[in-house]
A and B are shown apart, each in its own frame.
Chain A
Amino acid sequence: MTEAAALDTELIRTPSRRPIAGDFKPRGESFIFLTGGALALAILMISALIAIVLWQGLATFWPKRIDRLHMKDGSVMLGTIEQRELGPGGSPRIQVHVGNRDVFGAEFRWIDESDIEKRDRPKDAVLLERRDWGPAIGFVTGIRTGDDARALEPAEGIEALAKALPPAERRLEEIERIDKSVIGEINRGMEEARLERLGARYEHRADPKALAAEIAEIERREGDLGRRYDEAFAVLQAERTEDERHALIFETAGGLTKEILVSDVVRVVPSNDLGTIERLLVYGSRVVEFVTDDPRSSNTEGGVFPAIFGTVLMTLLMTIAVVPFGVIGALYLREYAKQGALVSVVRIAVNNLAGVPSIVFGVFGLGFFCYAVGGTIDQIFFPERLPSPTLGGGGILWASLTLALLTVPVVVVATEEALAAVPNSLREASYGCGASRFQTIRRIVIPRAMPGILTGVILAMARGAGEVAPLMLTGAVHYAPTLPMDGTFPFLHPERRFMHLGYHIFAVGLQSPNAEAARPMVFSTTLLLLLVVLVLNIAAIVIRNRLRRKFRSSTFG
Chain B
Amino acid sequence: MPVELRDAAPVHRAAGWNDERTPAEEGRASPVVHPEIHREETCIHVEKFCLHYGTTQALHDIDLRIPRNKVTALIGPSGCGKSTLLRSLNRLNDLVDSVRTSGAISLDGRNITGPDVDVIELRKRMGMVFQKSNPFPKSIFENVVYGLRIDGERRKPALEEACERSLRQSALWDEVKDRLRESALSLSGGQQQRLCIARAIATDPEVLLMDEPCSALDPIATSKIEDLIVGLRGRYSVVIVTHNMQQAARISDYTAFMYLGRIIEFGPTETIFRKPLSRQTEAYVTGRFG
Interfacial residues, chain A to chain B (CB-CB below 8 A): 338-339, 423, 425-436, 439, 443-444, 447-448, 550-555, 557
Segment at the A interface, from B33-41, B117-125, B157-165, B273-281: B117-125
Task: Give the residues in chain A near B90, CB-CB below 8 Å.
Answer: 432
Q: Let me know if B185 and A552 touch, CB within 8 A.
A: yes
B78 within 8 A of A: no
Q: Let me know if A434 and B185 touch, CB within 8 A.
A: no
B239 within 8 A of A: no
Q: Let me know if B146 and A430 touch, CB within 8 A.
A: yes
Q: Mark B99-133, 1 if CB is under 8 A from A, else 0.
A: 00000000000000000000011111111101010
Q: Let me know if B120 and A557 touch, CB within 8 A.
A: no
Given A339-B97, A557-B188, answer yes or no on A431-B123 (Cβ-Cβ < 8 Å): yes
B229 within 8 A of A: no
Task: Give the residues in chain B near A430, CB-CB below 8 Å.
Answer: 136, 146
Q: Identify which of B92, B149, B185 contacts A554 (C-beta below 8 A).
A: B185
Q: Let me know if B124 and A434 touch, CB within 8 A.
A: yes
Given A550-B137, A554-B185, A557-B189, answer yes or no on A433-B132 (Cβ-Cβ < 8 Å): no
B186 within 8 A of A: yes
A281 → chain B, closest Cβ, in Å? 51
Which residue of A426, A434, A552 has the most chain B CB atoms within 10 A of its CB atom?
A434
Q: Let me know if A428 and B130 touch, CB within 8 A.
A: yes
Q: Let me know if A434 and B147 touch, CB within 8 A.
A: yes
Task: Give the residues in chain A near B130, CB-CB below 8 Å.
Answer: 425, 428-429, 432
Given A551-B137, A554-B186, A557-B189, answer yes or no on A433-B92 (Cβ-Cβ < 8 Å): no
Which residue of B126, B185, B199 has the most chain A CB atoms within 10 A of its CB atom?
B185
Q: Let me know if B127 and A436 touch, CB within 8 A.
A: no
CA distance A427 to B128 in the complex (A): 13
Q: Let me know if A433 and B200 touch, CB within 8 A.
A: yes
Q: Let me know if A426 and B134 touch, CB within 8 A.
A: yes
Task: Give the residues in chain A near B137, CB-CB below 8 Å.
Answer: 447-448, 550-551, 553
New contact pairs (4) apart from A428-B130, A430-B146, CB-CB < 8 Å: A338-B97, A425-B132, A428-B92, A433-B147
Given A425-B130, A425-B132, answer yes or no on A433-B186 (Cβ-Cβ < 8 Å): no
Task: Give the residues in chain B near A429, CB-CB below 8 Å.
Answer: 128, 130, 134-136, 196, 199
CA distance A444 to B151 in the complex (A): 15
B11 within 8 A of A: no
List 9 A-B residue pairs with CB atoms under 8 Å apart, sorted by A's residue number. Answer: A427-B95, A428-B92, A429-B135, A431-B123, A432-B123, A434-B121, A447-B137, A552-B185, A555-B189
Task: Give the residues in chain B near A448, CB-CB below 8 Å.
Answer: 137
A425 nearest CB neighbor, chain B only: B134
Which residue of A439, A448, A551, A553 has the most chain B CB atoms within 10 A of its CB atom?
A553
The list of the 3 closest CB pairs from A to B, nearest first, reads A434-B124, A432-B128, A553-B185
Task: Give the residues in chain B near A550, CB-CB below 8 Å.
Answer: 137, 183
B129 nearest CB neighbor, chain A only: A432
CA distance A427 to B123 in the complex (A): 14
Q: Let me know if B189 and A435 touch, CB within 8 A.
A: no
B125 nearest CB neighbor, chain A only: A434
CA distance A554 to B185 in the complex (A): 6
CA distance A338 to B97 in the complex (A): 9
A442 nearest CB neighbor, chain B only: B150
Q: Identify which of B136, B186, B196, B203 contacts A434 (C-beta below 8 A).
A: B203
Q: Let me know if A431 and B95 touch, CB within 8 A.
A: yes
Classify the interface of chain A: helix, strand, loop or mixed.
helix
Task: Give the residues in chain A near B125, CB-CB below 8 Å.
Answer: 434
A440 nearest CB neighbor, chain B only: B150
Task: Give the residues in chain A near B97, CB-CB below 8 Å.
Answer: 338-339
CA distance A448 to B185 in the complex (A): 13
Q: Let me know if B186 and A432 touch, CB within 8 A.
A: no
B209 nearest CB neighbor, chain A only: A432
CA distance A339 to B95 in the complex (A): 12
Q: Identify which of A338, A427, A433, A552 contacts B199 (C-beta below 8 A).
A: A433
A12 → chain B, closest Cβ, in Å? 38
CA distance A448 to B149 in the complex (A): 18
Q: Let me know if B185 and A433 touch, CB within 8 A.
A: no
A557 nearest CB neighbor, chain B only: B188
B9 → chain A, closest Cβ, in Å? 41
CA distance A444 to B121 in the complex (A): 19
CA distance A429 to B138 in the complex (A): 13
B189 nearest CB neighbor, chain A only: A557
Q: Let me know if B146 and A433 touch, CB within 8 A.
A: yes
Task: Give the residues in chain A near B189, CB-CB below 8 Å.
Answer: 555, 557
CA distance A436 to B149 in the complex (A): 12
Given A554-B185, A554-B186, answer yes or no on A439-B150 (Cβ-Cβ < 8 Å): yes
Task: Give the residues in chain B near A551, CB-CB below 8 Å.
Answer: 137, 185
CA distance A423 to B122 in the complex (A): 24
Task: Give the residues in chain A near B149, CB-CB below 8 Å.
Answer: 443
CA distance A426 to B130 in the complex (A): 10
Which residue of A433, A444, A552, A554 has the most chain B CB atoms within 10 A of its CB atom?
A433
Q: Let me know if A443 and B150 touch, CB within 8 A.
A: yes
CA distance A112 to B203 in the complex (A): 91
CA distance A439 to B137 in the complex (A): 15
CA distance A550 to B183 in the complex (A): 9
Q: Let me know if B120 and A428 touch, CB within 8 A.
A: no
CA distance A443 to B122 in the complex (A): 20
CA distance A209 to B189 in the complex (A): 88
Which residue of B92, B132, B136 has the most chain A CB atoms within 10 A of its CB atom?
B136
Q: Let me know if A433 and B123 touch, CB within 8 A.
A: yes
B100 → chain A, closest Cβ, in Å? 15
Task: Give the residues in chain A near B196, CB-CB below 8 Å.
Answer: 429
CA distance A443 to B134 in the complex (A): 15
A444 nearest CB neighbor, chain B only: B136
B37 → chain A, closest Cβ, in Å? 27
A447 nearest CB neighbor, chain B only: B137
B180 → chain A, closest Cβ, in Å? 17
Q: Let me know if B188 and A434 touch, CB within 8 A.
A: no
Q: Identify which of A339, A432, A443, A553 contacts B200 (C-beta below 8 A).
A: A432
Q: Let me know if B134 and A434 touch, CB within 8 A.
A: no
CA distance A443 to B132 in the complex (A): 21
Residues from 205 to 225 in B contacting A, C-beta threshold 8 Å: none
Given A429-B130, A553-B185, A557-B189, answer yes or no on A434-B120 (Cβ-Cβ < 8 Å): yes
B172 → chain A, closest Cβ, in Å? 15
Given A426-B134, A444-B136, answer yes or no on A434-B151 (Cβ-Cβ < 8 Å): yes
CA distance A429 to B150 in the complex (A): 13
Q: Let me know if B150 and A434 touch, CB within 8 A.
A: yes
Given A425-B130, A428-B134, A444-B136, answer yes or no on A433-B203 (Cβ-Cβ < 8 Å): yes
Task: Give the residues in chain B near A552, CB-CB below 8 Å.
Answer: 185
Task: Give the residues in chain A near B200, CB-CB below 8 Å.
Answer: 432-433
CA distance A557 to B130 in the complex (A): 18
Task: Give the residues in chain B near A431, CB-CB below 8 Å.
Answer: 92, 95, 123
Task: Give the residues in chain B near A425, CB-CB below 8 Å.
Answer: 130, 132, 134
B40 → chain A, closest Cβ, in Å? 26
CA distance A427 to B199 in the complex (A): 14
B98 → chain A, closest Cβ, in Å? 11
Task: Give the residues in chain B near A443, CB-CB below 8 Å.
Answer: 146, 149-150
CA distance A467 to B150 in the complex (A): 44
A323 → chain B, closest Cβ, in Å? 23
A418 → chain B, closest Cβ, in Å? 14
A146 → chain B, closest Cβ, in Å? 77
A430 → chain B, closest Cβ, in Å? 7
Task: Give the residues in chain B near A444, CB-CB below 8 Å.
Answer: 136
Given A434-B121, A443-B150, A553-B137, answer yes or no on A428-B185 (Cβ-Cβ < 8 Å): no
B132 nearest CB neighbor, chain A only: A425
